[in-house]
Amino acid sequence: MNELTIQAPAKVNLYLAVHSRRADGYHEIETLMQKLELADQLKLRPGNKGISLCCPDSALPEDETNLAYRAAEVFFAETGLSGGIEIELYKNIPVAAGLGGGSSDAAAVLKGMNTLFSAGLTQEVLLEMAYPLGADVPFFVADFNLVRATGIGEKLEPVEVNAEWQVVLVNPGFSVSTRWAYDNFALTTRSNPYILGRAVIYDELCKNLFNDLESVTIRRYPEIEKIKNILFRDRADGVLMSGSGPTVFAFFLDKTAARRCVEGFSGSDYAVILTKPALF
């Protein structure tokens, strides 16, 4: 195979409770994560030697500080394969936005290189390789689109859902450090038995959207609260900040209402994206 194109989907956290902090710095969490059709695109080609990463039209680093680059390093180290890899990364997912773009890119590199080099690694092996790269990377390696995740996010259980809906993403244009958000959060004991079940009913989901980190980020960035109020005004079925923020998402069963909501932000400085849950 001379070239492989692979999608790296965004995600939103429909529920996020943060519990104890571990000795390694990670936090024990309970979360419900949904992949979206919004995705970065990566093109992979075999190279002569080493790793070459190119991020056209992006300010992303193109060295080992980029998770996609580090994923390629891990793949070669774990498989012992020789040769090289050329990676072109086209960003569609806002950076440092609570949408998991960097983690998804890393997962796409692991899966893509497995295919490109016919390495034959099982998903279980790829998950083991993904774990050291970051808490969200295993989720993007897994074949599930909607999961309950526990531990630091690496223990995954697929969840069923009873409806398709539209997702409006509103990003205010600034970035939020995930580490900062976790470091400034007082741990919770909250747990929601419904949201952590094996199946999701849309109406109940919208009533139970929850994110422990939202209050932390909103205190520093009150613009997020303003965005939430606009989305509620536009009759969204459910509204929440995703991950550590600052992106806010809104759910709509009504496609026309979702489009009108997006149109209502025209002229603003926000990045507004209409997407839906991933089916691929």
Tens-place pLDDT, residues 134-180: 989 999 999 999 999 998 888 999 998 877 899 999 999 998 888 88
* Cα three-residue angle 230-231-232, rounded to 5 degrees: 90
Q: How far is CA 218 from CA 7, 42, 79, 221, 246, in A?
A: 31, 33, 43, 5, 8
Whether residue 280 is contained in a domain is answered as no
| CATH number reported for the structural domain that contains residue 256 in this entry | 3.30.70.890
How many domains does the chain fold into?
Answer: 2
d(CA 159, CA 117) in angstroms, rounded, equals 32
Closest CA to 33 of 120, 130, 156, 190: 156
Beta carbons of 169 and 249 less than 8 angstroms apart: yes
Q: Do residues 142 and 173 both lie within one domain?
A: no
Residue 201: the pLDDT is 85
Q: State both tokens at 66.
A: 């980029």
Catalytic residue IDs: 11, 136
Last residue of a domain, one of 94, 128, 158: 158
Q: Do residues 140 and 178 both lie within one domain?
A: no
Q: How many residues does the chain have?
A: 280
Q: Do residues 141 and 117 both lie within one domain?
A: yes
Q: Is the pTM of this model over 0.85?
A: yes
Last residue of a domain, one of 101, 128, 158: 158
Per residue in 179-198, pLDDT (tens digit) is 888 888 776 556 555 555 56
Domain containing residue 222: 161-275
Q: Do residues 119 and 234 both lie within one domain?
A: no
Q: Do residues 129 and 32 both lie within one domain?
A: yes
* Cα three-residue angle 269-178-195, rounded to 5 degrees: 95
Residue 195: the pLDDT is 55
Q: Do residues 169 and 214 both lie within one domain?
A: yes
Beta-strand runs (E) in 22-124: 27-47, 50-54, 84-90
Last residue of a domain, one of 143, 158, 173: 158
Find the mean pLDDT for residues 72-87. 95
